[in-house]
């Protein structure tokens, strides 16, 4: 089999479960060595590391709070030191906090921005110090960055829109170094955060052109492509993987 990422090292933040775990698996399937971060799912992170190692790649998990910029900075440094280099950064860690604008829990919303925006920025800034030509930075955004289909998600939408805006700016910043920067914007994906049998699942399913929820591995496949040499001329892009939700 042609494994396109042999010799590459990837860091997937929030990689212990959900979309992050699917991304880690997809990168490992293509031959990349993979580091994942976690904040509370130590057992799941250890189990995933063993699974990735069984695929024949090197894998490791580090504990890091994505809402703490200092911890994120140290995370990137640890990965680069552990493997000797870093080629692929996938910003997957994120939270989804909702609520009426008049009843916002300020603390929860501040933490949402710290994780969804601040943690992403901290990881990218540190990765920029160790990545070289051919580097790949891929963030997991949301279709909510461009569309807010129901009330109560203004803060979440704003956090993901910020990541999309950062992506466009970073593409310009990193272009001369040969590093691409893109954001993948999922629609409804069947995860613990948004299960296909959840209270609002039927509404979301009906909103897609395909009439179904997406699978985490479908996001993983998109990220793996963006990490490959085949995507070398794609940068600054926001790529919807949403079953046509925003069509």
Domain boundaries, given as residue ranges, for the chain: 9-239
Q: Is 4 helix (H, G, I), strand (E, B) or coil?
A: coil
**pLDDT at residue number 145:** 95
Residue 101: the pLDDT is 85
245 given a catalytic annotation: no
Cα(171)–Cα(175) distance, rounded to whole angstroms? Answer: 6
Give the whole-angstrom CA distance, residue 27 versus residue 56.
Answer: 12
Q: For residue 1, what pLDDT is reported?
A: 62
Which one of 38, 156, 213, 245 is the catalytic residue?
Answer: 156
pTM: 0.96
Count other Cβ atoms within 10 Å, centred on residue 112: 22
Edge to edge, the sheet with strand 9-12 lists 59-63, 33-38, 9-12, 88-91, 136-140, 180-186, 238-241
Q: Residue 48 is encoded by which pair of tokens?
A: 């995933």
Q: CATH class for domain 9-239?
A: alpha beta
Per-residue pLDDT of the chain (247 residues; tens, 9 = 90+): 689 999 999 999 999 999 999 999 999 999 999 999 999 989 999 999 999 999 999 999 999 999 999 999 999 999 999 999 999 999 999 999 988 888 888 899 999 999 999 999 999 999 999 999 999 999 999 999 998 888 899 999 999 999 999 999 999 999 999 999 999 999 999 998 899 998 889 999 999 999 999 999 999 999 999 999 999 999 999 999 999 999 9
Per-residue model confidence (pLDDT) at position 102: 86
Looking at the chain, how many residues does it have?
247
The alpha carbons of the chain give a radius of gyration, in whole angstroms, of 17
**Dist. CA 97–CA 27, nearest whole Å:** 29
């Amino acid at each position: 089999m042609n494994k396109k990422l042999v010799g590459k090292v990837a860091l997937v933040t929030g990689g212990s479960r959900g979309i992050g775990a699917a991304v880690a698996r997809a990168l490992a399937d293509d031959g990349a060595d993979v580091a994942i971060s976690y904040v509370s799912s130590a057992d799941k992170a250890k189990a995933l590391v063993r699974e990735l190692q069984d695929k024949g790649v090197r894998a490791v998990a580090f504990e890091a709070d994505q809402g703490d910029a200092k911890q994120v900075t140290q995370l990137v440094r640890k990965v680069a030191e552990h493997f000797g280099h870093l080629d692929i950064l996938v910003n997957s860690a994120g939270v989804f906090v909702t609520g009426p604008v008049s009843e916002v829990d300020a603390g929860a919303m501040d933490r949402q921005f710290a994780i969804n925006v601040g943690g992403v920025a901290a990881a990218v800034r540190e990765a920029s110090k160790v990545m070289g030509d051919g580097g790949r930075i891929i963030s997991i955004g949301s279709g909510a960055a461009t569309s807010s289909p129901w009330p109560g998600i203004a803060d979440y939408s704003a956090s993901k829109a910020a990541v999309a805006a950062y992506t466009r700016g970073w593409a310009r910043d990193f272009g001369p170094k040969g590093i691409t920067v893109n954001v993948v914007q999922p629609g409804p994906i069947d995860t613990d955060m948004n299960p296909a049998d959840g209270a609002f699942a039927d509404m979301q399913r009906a909103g897609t052109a395909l009439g179904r929820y997406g699978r985490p591995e479908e996001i993983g496949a998109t990220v793996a492509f963006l990490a490959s040499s085949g995507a070398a001329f794609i940068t600054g892009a926001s790529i919807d993987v949403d079953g046509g939700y925003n069509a």
